[in-house]
Amino acid sequence: MIRFINCVRRRADISSEQFRQFWSDPKFDAIIDRVVEYTGATGHAKNLTLMVDANVLMRERRAFGEPFDGVLEYWWEDAARLNAVLNSPQCDVLMKSMLDFQRQFVDLDKSCAFFTEAQE
């Protein structure tokens, strides 16, 4: 299984509450749904980092840096089909709409995205 992981940090001028409003916006969900449908993803997850003492304690104990504010994940069974889709002009348009929306609340320079292979 191939997974795409997008770990995002909020822009410095956006509060955590504002970030969460953008993250929960139905417009964002609609873009995610279009990505899932167009790419043939077999699933996805959209997660927010919990604002709890346990996260602070974990960072202190393990000397971690600041956590990401959110993580967006998609997964696929067929890497060949995904490759074909990713190289299409339609995918470029879809990814541009995702980036345009995310620029409103995500610090793209401090965020990261990558593909993984699930070891199940």
pTM for this predicted structure: 0.86
If we measure between CA atoms, which residue out of 98, 96, 95 comes closest to residue 85? 95
- Interhelix angle 89-102/26-39, rounded to 10 degrees, is 160
- Collapsing DSSP to helix, strand or coil, 19 comes out as helix
- Interhelix angle 26-39/79-86, rounded to 10 degrees, is 120
For the chain, which residues score pLDDT lower than 50? Answer: none
The confidence score (pLDDT) of residue 58 equals 72
First to last CA, the chain: 8
Buried b vs exposed e over 4-21: b needs ≥16 C-beta within 10 Å? Answer: bebbbbbbeebeeeebbe
Cβ neighbours around 77 below 10 Å, total: 12
The confidence score (pLDDT) of residue 118 equals 81
